[in-house]
Amino acid sequence: MRMHRVAAVLAAVVLVPLTGAWADHRDGVGLYGRMAVDGVVVSVRPLTSTFALRVVRPSHIREWGDPILTVWVQRGTRVDEGGHPLAVLDALRPGDRVRVDGFRLDDGRLLALEMEVRERAGVTPGSGVVVVRGVVVARGPALIVIVDSQGTTRVILVVATTRLVGPRQAFHLLQPRDEVVVLGLANADGTIAARQIQVVAVSPGP
């Protein structure tokens, strides 16, 4: 009888963590609660304010199976780039490396409390698509000139289909020292034909 009681206690001790924070989940990543992860953006879904993240670190999360988390970004999410978190989400592209500190919900989504974009994807192999971040130093009738984080001057061509996202309402309102993320196609002459210009921080003024 005594041995049966001991076995029951041991079973309870073992089973509690397995049915709590370490419970299995259909997407294969079994952790719940507060966590911080580093990974690579797989896809972005602006309509649902989410993006899919392939986890790189910590390694024990990957051991639970397919290491892809759905990250949910809200208005209250703190972002390292400044500006509106949903605007930063809109500027994310597959291949970007990000760190997310958040809380994993029961439905499997990771609610982002803080998010840091650590590395932009740059050129997507085989596509010619370029993503660059820099500070506006000049503006012309159909172009802007920015200096990127490596100190390289980039000429960004603004075409009829270029989309402007962020606090500036029109291209002619862009100011020197505005910080932007540009998604576009690289031309042979080194210019970039912009598909989208995301204003992530505005100039503090004169």
Residue 16 has pLDDT above 90, yes or no: no
- Which tens digit of pLDDT belongs to each residue from 34-69? 889 888 888 888 888 899 888 878 766 555 555 788
User: How sure is the predictor about 174, in pLDDT bands with cuts at 50, 70 and 90?
Assistant: very high
Summarize pLDDT for 77-91 with one digit per residue, the tens: 998 766 678 777 877
3-state secondary structure of 63: coil
Residue 184: helix, strand or coil by DSSP? strand
pTM for the full predicted model: 0.47
